[in-house]
Amino acid sequence: MISLFDISLQLNGFPIRKAKADLDAITRLSEEEFLKFLERQKHEIVYFHLHNNPFYNELTGNKIVQRWEDLPVLNKQNLQKSLQERLSKGYTSKNTYINKTSGSSGTPFVFAKDKYSHALTWASNSMRFGWFGIDFNHSYQARFYGIPMDFLGYRKERFKDFLSRRFRFPVFDLSDEVLEKFLRKFRTKKFDYLNGYTSSIVLFAKFLEQKNIVLKEICPSLKACFVTSEMLFESDKKLLEKQFGIPIINEYGASELDLIAFENPKGEWQVNSETLFVEILDENDQVLPYGKEGRIVITSLFNKANPFIRYDIGDIGILDEKSTLQKPILKKLTGRTNDIAILPSGKKSPGLTFYYVTKSIIEDDGNVKEFIIKQTKIDTFEIEYVSIKELDSNQIQKIEEAIALYLEPELKFTFTRKMVLERTNRGKLKQFKSYL
């Protein structure tokens, strides 16, 4: 039965019925059939863009590349050109889906998807959420996201929420007074699931913990919680499970691509192999074997409007050794390539290392609600935090000792207590940032 959400996609020119049928057919392929499908699709998308996209043709040096591994790796700087320069022949802003990235990587850009490719994205989302009993046409979503603050943007987003069976909780103000209002909504509305930015949902769980409330007990209709866009730490996942009383599912995606990986019912972070091809590359653009850490490079197998072929998304991760081409498993997502701390000794360390080290100490007593770390000089870091009371000298000493042990000694830190932390214009919390 087709319902309001699917009808709205169809009316806007996104062929969701065909996309769902095609996606279902891909998932039913045998291993041998899937390998043929993948090779055919890789060949077809490259062939299409070489013959219909001047931007991609220029990127490849106007030559036919014989081996997949010799195709250029596309980066975000390449894409920071006018969209008109990057669109394929026959595609315009009027017959494609146009959006822009959040800019959390520091290099935002506008992108396009052809309407079939965008319908496939929604079919993929629908299938994966369906693993947990969620139906976009009928299930009611509690949405923890940002929202445009201009009048037209705000109204448009609220209308989309209505069509998509969503109630939005804007995340720009997460004071206790506002979280109390959120809580009242859960007492009165029959939400089926939560979905949104990890940091905001974790903050809501900490609020519930203070009040000794389990969300499922006051909103029995809840089935699951899906977190996205920011790192989910194991300790935070346990907190969410305890305070929500429902399964916590971790997703990893990018607006310009699709859902990249989604935690399946077995607890594996299953990579989307139906619409994407994911590779892990080293610093020299060489493909790494399963189990090795490197740059996550992704090909959109169906988007004809705007080429995303061997696209370096800016993240670092590892594909599990048990991965196959048909069922790749993301073992670990380390962080962004631009979130690397360079230390006085010359050592390079993912910025999230600081976050891991300080997190376990800083949140021991529940005083600190959230924090971010900024590198301002090669040996100097600023930690900004929101807390009930200021950190004492003993806590600060423990943090400095842990960092000296896990990273290196004689790094300088300043600690600044804030009422609220700076978020992106979409409401995301950037947990580490280097200003070097």
pLDDT at 343: 87
Tokens 């290392």 correspond to what residue? Answer: 353
Task: Give the best-scoring range by mean pLDDT among 98-107, 151-160, 355-364.
Answer: 151-160
CATH number, position 426 = 3.30.300.30
Q: Is 162 helix (H, G, I), strand (E, B) or coil?
A: helix
pLDDT range class, residue 229, cuts 50, 70, 90:
confident
Higher pLDDT, 223 or 388: 223
pLDDT range class, residue 93, cuts 50, 70, 90:
confident
User: Residue 74 and residue 333: Cα distance in Å, rounded?
Assistant: 20
Residue 384 in this model has a pLDDT that exceeds 80: yes
According to DSSP, the β-strands at 269-271 and 258-263 are antiparallel
**Do 382 and 416 form a contact (C-beta atoms < 8 A)?**
yes
Q: Which two tokens stand for residue 390?
A: 């200021």
Going by the DSSP 8-state scheme, the letter that residue 287 receives in this structure is: B
Task: Give the best-scoring range by mean pLDDT among 1-10, 114-123, 232-241.
Answer: 114-123
Domain hosting 369: range is: 340-434
Over its C-alpha atoms, the chain yields an Rg (Å, rounded) of 22
Clarify whether residues 326 and 207 are in a common domain. Answer: yes
pLDDT at 233: 84
**Do 205 and 244 form a contact (C-beta atoms < 8 A)?**
yes
Residue 218 in this model has a pLDDT that exceeds 70: yes
Clarify whether residues 112 and 232 are in a common domain. Answer: yes
* Mean pLDDT across 400-415: 88
Summarised one tens digit per residue, pLDDT across range 333-368 is 876 655 678 889 888 776 767 776 787 677 656 678
According to DSSP, the β-strands at 258-263 and 248-254 are antiparallel
Q: Which two tokens stand for residue 355?
A: 């976050």
Higher pLDDT, 153 or 360: 153
What is the four-CA torsion angle of 415, 231, 194, 122, rounded to 10 degrees? 140
Clarify whether residues 139 and 217 are in a common domain. Answer: yes
Q: Which two tokens stand for residue 269?
A: 């972070």
Q: Which two tokens stand for residue 62?
A: 């106007």
Clarify whether residues 407 and 268 are in a common domain. Answer: no
Clarify whether residues 155 and 240 are in a common domain. Answer: yes
Residue 241 in this model has a pLDDT that exceeds 90: yes
* Mean pLDDT across 302-324: 95
Higher pLDDT, 219 or 159: 219
Clarify whether residues 415 and 330 are in a common domain. Answer: no
**Do 315 and 101 form a contact (C-beta atoms < 8 A)?**
no
pLDDT at 224: 97
Which of residues 334, 363, 389 is at a domain's end?
A: 334
Tokens 């590892």 correspond to what residue? Answer: 318
Burial class (CB in 10 A: 0-12, 13-18, 19+), 290: middle
User: Residue 230 and residue 197: Cα distance in Å, rounded?
Assistant: 6
* Mean pLDDT across 8-34: 95
Number of domains into which the chain is organized: 2
Angle at 209 between CA 203 and CA 210, to 5 degrees: 95
- Give percent of the chain with pLDDT exceeding 90: 58
Clarify whether residues 222 and 327 are in a common domain. Answer: yes
Q: Report the residue count for the chain.
A: 436
CATH number, position 62 = 3.40.50.12780
User: Residue 397 and residue 347: Cα distance in Å, rounded?
Assistant: 23
Q: Which two tokens stand for residue 352?
A: 């999230």
pLDDT range class, residue 102, cuts 50, 70, 90:
low
pLDDT at 1: 44
This prediction has a pTM of 0.82
Find, among 226, 151, 213, 206, the residue nearest to 186 by Cα: 213
Find, among 194, 192, 164, the residue nearest to 182 by Cα: 194
* Mean pLDDT across 87-111: 81
Clarify whether residues 313 and 387 are in a common domain. Answer: no
Which of residues 334, 349, 375 is at a domain's end?
A: 334
**Do 136 and 129 form a contact (C-beta atoms < 8 A)?**
yes
Clarify whether residues 374 and 327 are in a common domain. Answer: no
pLDDT range class, residue 398, cuts 50, 70, 90:
confident
Clarify whether residues 279 and 394 are in a common domain. Answer: no
Clarify whether residues 208 and 271 are in a common domain. Answer: yes
Q: Which residues contact 391 (CB under 8 A, 6 or more apart)?
A: 362, 367, 368, 385, 415, 417
* Mean pLDDT across 292-302: 96
What rounded mean pLDDT belongs to the chain? 89
User: Residue 122 and residue 25: Cα distance in Å, rounded?
Assistant: 16
Which H or E element spans position 393? helix 393-406
55-64, 353-362, 371-380: segment of lowest average pLDDT: 353-362
Sheet bearing 311-319, strands edge to edge: 276-281, 293-300, 311-319, 330-336
Q: In Å, how far from its chain's centre is CA 357?
A: 23
* Mean pLDDT across 251-270: 93
Higher pLDDT, 228 or 322: 322
pLDDT at 399: 87
Higher pLDDT, 106 or 330: 330
Residue 96 in this model has a pLDDT that exceeds 70: yes
Clarify whether residues 201 and 320 are in a common domain. Answer: yes
Q: Which two tokens stand for residue 52?
A: 């219909």
Which of residues 308, 334, 360 is at a domain's end?
A: 334
Residue 28 in this model has a pLDDT that exceeds 50: yes
Residue 421 in this model has a pLDDT that exceeds 90: no
Angle at 426 between CA 421 and CA 432, to 5 degrees: 45
* Mean pLDDT across 24-31: 97
